[in-house]
Amino acid sequence: MKLGAACFTMVVACAGASCGRGVVPGAAYDQPLLSFSGTISPTGGLVQAQHPIVGLLWTDPLQRSADVTMPARWLQSSVDTAADTFTVDIFRPPPPEAVVELAAPSGKISQQLAMAEIVIVDDSDGDGGFLVQGPRATISAPERYLAGSANVLTYVATPFPSPQSNSPLTLPAQLGYALVNYNCQGQLSAGTNPVNPQAVEMILQPSQDFPDVRTCRASHGP
């Protein structure tokens, strides 16, 4: 994990069908907390996929705890393999075990947040979910990752109480869900930028291990 010159400490606190058909929707909320959509490149890369879905892989930025997948009933997604597009509706906050605490340099105030990689998975058994294990978030066969995104889904449960304290992982004054881009300059991040919820980009990269597509703030770097 390459976080650059960090001036903070982290302490652990403690998925859609092809061609427009959705996974079981979240039952606890009538309206999604966040909806987003986007494109898949290169075009035509998913035509052989059996049952592509969009999933969320919650990860500890300092790799101190195991990755957590979003339960299938907590989101709804669709993947159009002909148009190379996808949509996602999220109905629940992240699993509690995915939330970490970010302490300010003074150590006196903190922010509770969660960070998820957005992936497309070939859900061969059609149950809407997938399992991972190990430091590279290896997906259990016969399912496999099909694509990943340089964009990241973040969630702030408790923001810094001081507006002068900004997190290098989330947007200023963020509360709840937001999509971010880390503006990678090689292995360093030049800051967080908001991402248009209708313009999330997925890059096709079939793999059993998590297909990391960023050069900075990598979730599963060796």
pLDDT in tens, 120-179: 999 988 888 999 999 899 999 999 999 999 999 999 998 877 766 678 899 988 999 999
pLDDT classification of 5: cutoffs 50, 70, 90: very low
Mean pLDDT of all residues in the chain?
Answer: 84
Query: pTM for this structure?
Result: 0.84
pLDDT tens digits for range 193-222: 999 999 999 999 999 999 988 999 888 765
Instruction: Identify the pLDDT of residue 102.
Output: 78
The mean per-residue pLDDT over the stretch 60-85 comes to 92
DSSP state, residue 159: -
* pLDDT over 80 at 69, yes or no: yes
The amino acid at 58: W
Beta partners for residue 85, in sequence order: 39, 80
Please state, in angstroms and rounded to a whole number, the distance separating the CA atoms of residues 29 and 204.
31
- Residue 74 has what DSSP assignment? G
Cis? peptide before 42, omega within 30° of 0:
yes
